[in-house]
Structure 1
Amino acid sequence: MKQLPVSSLGFTLLISALLIGCNQSASNEKSGGSDGKKIVVGATMLSMQNEFIVNVHDEMAKKAEADGVELITVDAERSALKQVEQVESFIAQHVDAIIMNPCEVEASSPAVTKALAAKIPIINVNSETSTKPSAFVGSDDVESARIAMKFIAEKLNGKGNILMMHGYMGQAAQIKREQGAQEILKQYPNLKLLAHQTAEWDRAKGMSLMENWIQSFGSQINAVFAQNDEMGLGAVKALTDAGLKDKVLVVSIDAIPDALQAVKKGSLDATVFQNAEQQGAKAIEAAVKLAKGQPVEKETLIPFQLVTKQNLGEFLKQ
């Protein structure tokens, strides 16, 4: 084999070194670490049995992979106590940032306090705590309920009997969606709230609660506002089984795929779209920026949108 002259060999090695350096620099820029080490983000989610929360997490995972971020996810299983312990574990692991999807406004707050005391940025996604985190990414849940209840009020011409299904009591979305619904009810004195109770964001529990309400109120029911689609779809099933669905409006929140199909079929009258993709992706963006010591918006709010048969095509995935 022909040998390269010493000067050519030196030049080749220099070019190789420069190329390796450039590649390492690009890799470091993508992962966010100036030392080439990946940014590590710990995430604790309210419940991985809830479809919308899973959708938010899936988008977080996609964005993390695209950005070269290591994402460690744990399921709080609706326990604020467990969630606080999970954040303590992330602190002990010295993660670069924490994303929390809070179980409760008050009971999950100590997790925020502990992370901030350890000088680890913490981002609340989708739901809030009374203790303010480094950043919040989500939507205004008061707005979502206003949109849903306004639709019901207009469809009933401002008069009728309504039932409301609450989410997990004490969680920010439940508190704020009740607030938004009550605001609209006050504007329509001829709308009566017959009953309201929790079904804990759960489809089977929503169905069971609706069955009980049908026994109690029967033909008096004009509309149901469910604070999420899972409960709304449970209510639709119970009303359909009882032969009452054609006489009762059902509106819910999130616009999960099953709900969009139900709107298409006409069994669910409307849902309110909450953007899981943007919430998940922007939570990772905030975590990466904070881990790098860069400034972020304290609050990123993504608007809700009413979904009916008329505009359904905008939301159905092709």
Structure 2
Amino acid sequence: MRFLKLIAVSVAVLALAAAPATAQKKPYKIGAAVYGLKGEFMQLWVNALKEHPAVKDGSVKLTIFDGKYDALTQNNQFETMVTQKFDGILFVPIDIQAGAQAVEKAAEAKIPVVGSNARVLSDKLVSYVGSDDTVAGALEAEAVIKAMGGKGNVVIIEGPIGQSAQIERRKGNQAALAKYKDVKVLEMRTANWSRAEALSLMENWLTAHAGKIHGVIGQNDEMALGAIEALKAKGLSPKSIPVAGIDGVTDAIRAVKEGHMMSILQDAQGQAQGGLDVLLRHIVGPGYEPRAALWNDYASEGLSWGDGTARQYNVPWTPITLQNADALLAKRSK
């Protein structure tokens, strides 16, 4: 009897030894620290992240942290994640410089941080998955200027001062404007990505520069839509005063269909899910296989997973047109 028991124990030990050493015992604890959730784009980003296969199958336990458009709030949230020993962090910072302190805290605790959508000036960031905002800024400014016939006065509605998208989109705006000596910038101020703030700002400009504004460059769709509301309230048609934005939020796609604005789609799903793939690669190791769709969707445009350890991944922009607007809206409604 004792001999049989010894055999049983030996078999059990051998079975355990044969089990895969990489088997995941518990979900990876991932935090997503985003600058704010008032606007639709960040809501799209968060919702897409929740649909990542690793979150859906329970291998990732996801916690969303709303930064409420405040750098100090985001720093405090990083302290919470460090204290609670999160396995990794996805970071969408409100401030390109202030966010570096938060990344430093995580790095000291050996918690990998991957940036997504907005950049932070830190060499402790293991990777970045987003889109080139300088390119988008140039594209939208060029679209407005061409619609104006290459001459006239424009106003520029900026994002939160100090966020990477505001800085880079301004560079793109200015690079395009520099090519047209007959285009003048009348005003350039922030509306903090807010439709309501842009509406108020545009109302003031339409009064201060009555009849002199020929085009509107909004550094995101929400602000462009606010400007359109102000134009309509003054009895002006956005078809006669071209307006452009960036992001591809739902109302903007509809406005493009109506001929009221121009916009460029920023792929929230690609940025969010691609960012989580890259973060998991740094946590799990070389055996991790990417599960987000963007690696196939943009392969023909040069976006490659490689081994998942590149310092930067640029998700391509998609101009919104009458030809693709319905398909984009149909995808959004799923």
Task: Provide the TM-score with structure 2 as the length reference.
Answer: 0.84
- 1:66 aligns with 56
- 1:55 aligns with 44
Contact persistence 1:160–1:222 (CA under 8 A): yes
**SS of equivalent to 1:224:** strand
Identify which of 169, 184, 189 aligns with 2:161.
Answer: 169
CA displacement at 1:66 relative to structure 2: 2.8
- 1:235 aligns with 227
- 1:4 aligns with none
The answer as to 2:250 corresponding to 1:257 is: yes
Q: 2: distance between equivalents of 1:21 and 1:36?
A: 15
Q: Which whole-Å deviations, capped at 9, do the CAs of 1:65-119 have from their partners, x for residues lacking one?
A: 2352101111110111111111111111111101111010011110111111211
- 1:84 aligns with 75
Q: 1: distance between equivalents of 2:101 and 2:311?
A: 19
CA displacement at 1:293 relative to structure 2: 3.2
> Unpaired runs of 5+ in structure 1?
1-13
Q: Which whole-Å deviations, capped at 9, do the CAs of 1:114-170 have from their partners, x for residues lacking one?
A: 111211100111001111311101000001111111111222221111000001110
Identify which of 165, 185, 192 aligns with 1:193.
Answer: 185
- 1:5 aligns with none
Identify if the C-alpha distance between structure 1 residues 21 and 152 changes in structure 2 by more than 3 Å, giving closer, same or farther: farther
CA displacement at 1:314 relative to structure 2: 4.2
**SS of equivalent to 1:263:** helix
Contact persistence 1:41–1:287 (CA under 8 A): no
Task: Provide the TM-score with structure 1 as the length reference.
Answer: 0.88
Question: Normalized per residue, which structure has more helix?
Answer: 1
The answer as to 2:294 corresponding to 1:301 is: no
Instruction: Tell me the C-alpha RMSD between the 2 structures.
Output: 2.4
Specify the code of the residue in structure 2 equivalent to 1:159: K
> Unpaired runs of 5+ in structure 2?
1-10, 287-307
- 1:100 aligns with 91
Specify the code of the residue in structure 2 equivalent to 1:302: V
The answer as to 2:125 corresponding to 1:112 is: no
Q: 1: distance between equivalents of 2:35 and 2:272?
A: 14
CA displacement at 1:292 relative to structure 2: 1.2
Identify which of 127, 139, 148 aligns with 2:118.
Answer: 127
Identify if the C-alpha distance between structure 1 residues 49 and 21 changes in structure 2 by more than 3 Å, giving closer, same or farther: farther
Specify the code of the residue in structure 2 equivalent to 1:317: A
The answer as to 2:131 corresponding to 1:139 is: yes
Q: 2: distance between equivalents of 1:196 and 1:314?
A: 34
Q: 2: distance between equivalents of 1:186 and 1:123?
A: 34
Equivalent pairs counted in the alignment come to: 298
* Superposed structure 1 runs of 4+ greater than 3 Å apart: none
Between the aligned residues of both structures, percent identity stands at: 32
Q: 1: distance between equivalents of 2:231 and 2:192?
A: 19
Q: 1: distance between equivalents of 2:56 and 2:310?
A: 22
- 2:263 aligns with 271
**SS of equivalent to 1:220:** coil
Specify the code of the residue in structure 2 equivalent to 1:216: A
Deviates more, 1:187-196 or 1:291-300: 291-300
- 1:9 aligns with none
